[in-house]
A and B are shown apart, each in its own frame.
Chain A
Amino acid sequence: MTFSIIARCPHTGRLGLGIATFSIGAGGRCEGILAGVGICKTQAFTNRGNDPLAIELLAQGHGPAHVMRMLEQNDPNHAYRQIAIIDREGNCAAHSGSGTRPWSGHKIGKGYIAFGNVLAGPQVIEAIAAGFMAEPEGALEFRILAALEGGRNSGGQVGAQGHLTERSAAIRVVADPDYPDIDVRVDLHDDAIVELRRVLEEFKRYEVFYRDRGRDPSTAMTQDQFVATLERSA
């Protein structure tokens, strides 16, 4: 029970992933993203080793389709996994194994993959893709957020006992191999996508301040001074 999107920004080459799920702490299982290399996200009955392994394989130069075959060859439980892979050029491969819980599936678009399991139906995947494509010139993090909101608004996750709320959610966007551009998480919340929007919007107000004070500390104002400028402009 999870819905996700992985994508490459066609304008900047930035790579990003967004995820929302009923499980706790989903953002702690998103290691498979590296600037200039690619993204791999394994979910459903996940194989935690897949994502770091796939990043190594992508970094060696293999394409997503071949990486997927190697993951399959490496994993006796491949049929229980749901896996999406994008490389640095935006090439895509996806796998929704027959052992994942229904409704389970994926949609491959130009430079993105929308995928999920234990969903209300295929309309969720379509809504994730539509949310992502709503503002194709927008910043990748907000396109990813719109995708997750689209998935939620079209029914999201539905298990045996009915609708399942999103208890955790995360967005990561990378442009540099040393640190994430955007990395916001909600690990345990009644309405994790709503909370994720709150965290992302707040982070965006601080983003430049946090970056610049590290790059040139000698001219940085204190955070108290910066918060005061935010309050004055509010």
Chain B
Amino acid sequence: MTYTVLGRCHRTGRLGIGIATFSITVGRYCYGVKSNAGVTVSQAFANERNNQLALRLLAQGFTAGSVLQQLLANDPYFEYRQIGVIDRSGTAVAHTGPRTRGWSSHVTGENCVAFGNGLVGEEVVDAIAAGFMAEPDADLEHRLLMGIEAGRDAGGQGTRERHKTERSAALRVYSTDTFADIDLRVDLHATAVEELRRVWTEYKQYEAYYRDRERNPSGATGQEEFMKTLRAAEA
């Protein structure tokens, strides 16, 4: 039981993942994103090797469709897997195996995969895609978060009678660097999507400060000094 959005920004080529699930520490399954290569997540009964294999194939230049076919051909349990892949050109594909549990499906569009399993119904993946597409020119991390919040608001995981809480969630975005642009996680929480929004909102206040002190340390102020300016701005 998990719901996820993979996205590529049509303006910048940035690539990212938004994910929420009942399982704890889901962020440890979200290393399948790399600058100028692509983005992928394997979930349901996840094959723990798929993400890096897919990234290596994407980096070699295989298209998303070809990568997905290779993952399926490589895996005797492909019927249990749910996989999304977007390549660097924005082609998006997905696979939802017939043996994944509960209500399980995906939708794909250019630059976007919305997919999940153990969901309350079809409306959840549609809501994720709609949330992602609501502000197509906004920053990718914002759109990914809007996608999973929309999935939650449409009922998320479980059954119509009994909602399954989101205990972990994660947001990762790569731009052109060898390291993540945005990498935020909630590993164990009673309402992980709400908590991810709180962490993201706080982090956004510091984002430029953290970046600039790294690039120009000689001119940087201490973090305590920076926080005084935050507090003064709030007052």
Contact = CB atoms under 8 A, between A and B. Distances in A.
Is B one of A's binding partners? yes
Contacts of A28: 180, 182-185
8 contacts: A45-B220, A101-B222, A161-B224, A185-B187, A199-B187, A206-B23, A213-B45, A217-B45
Interface in B169-226: 177-180, 182-188, 198-199, 202-203, 206, 210, 213-214, 216-218, 220, 222-224
Interface of A: 1, 22-25, 27-29, 31, 44-49, 51-53, 77, 80-81, 99, 101, 159-161, 164, 177-180, 183-188, 198-199, 202-203, 206, 210-211, 213-218, 220, 222-223
Contact of B48 (A44, A160, A179, A198): A179
A44 B223 CA distance: 11
A48 B176 CA distance: 13
In this complex, which of A27, A101, A184, A214 has the most chain B Cβ atoms within 10 angstroms of its Cβ?
A214
B27 interface: yes
Nearest to A160: B224
A218 B49 contact: no
A39 B31 CA distance: 17
Given A1-B223, A187-B184, A202 B24 contact: yes
Contacts, number: 128
A138 B46 CA distance: 29
A213 B29 CA distance: 14
A223 B23 contact: yes
B187 A24 contact: no
Contacts of A31: 178-180
A99 B218 contact: yes
B51 A99 contact: no
A-B CB proximity, top 8 nearest: A28-B183, A45-B217, A217-B45, A80-B217, A217-B80, A183-B28, A52-B178, A178-B52
A186 B187 CA distance: 7
A150 to B, nearest CB: 22
A217 B216 CA distance: 50
B47 A214 contact: yes
B130 interface: no
Interface in B143-189: 177-180, 182-188
A188 B223 contact: no
A49 B178 contact: yes
Contacts of A22: 223
Interface in B62-109: 77, 80, 99, 101
A163 to B, nearest CB: 11
Contacts of A199: 24-25, 187-188
Interface of B: 1, 22-25, 27-29, 31, 44-49, 51-53, 77, 80, 99, 101, 177-180, 182-188, 198-199, 202-203, 206, 210, 213-214, 216-218, 220, 222-224
Given A45-B217, A185-B185, A187-B184, A180 B199 contact: no
A203 B24 contact: yes
Contacts of A81: 217
A108 to B, nearest CB: 24
A223 B51 contact: no
Nearest to B167: A202
A53 B202 CA distance: 29
B18 to A, nearest CB: 14
Contacts of B178: 31, 49, 52-53
A224 B47 CA distance: 20
A24 B203 contact: yes
Given A28-B180, A187-B199, A199-B24, A160 B222 contact: yes
Contacts of B23: 206, 210, 223
Nearest to B209: A23
Nearest to A27: B185
Contacts of A47: 214
Contacts of A24: 199, 202-203, 206
A217 B223 CA distance: 47
A159 B226 CA distance: 13
Contacts of A164: 224
Nearest to A21: B223
A49 to B, nearest CB: 6
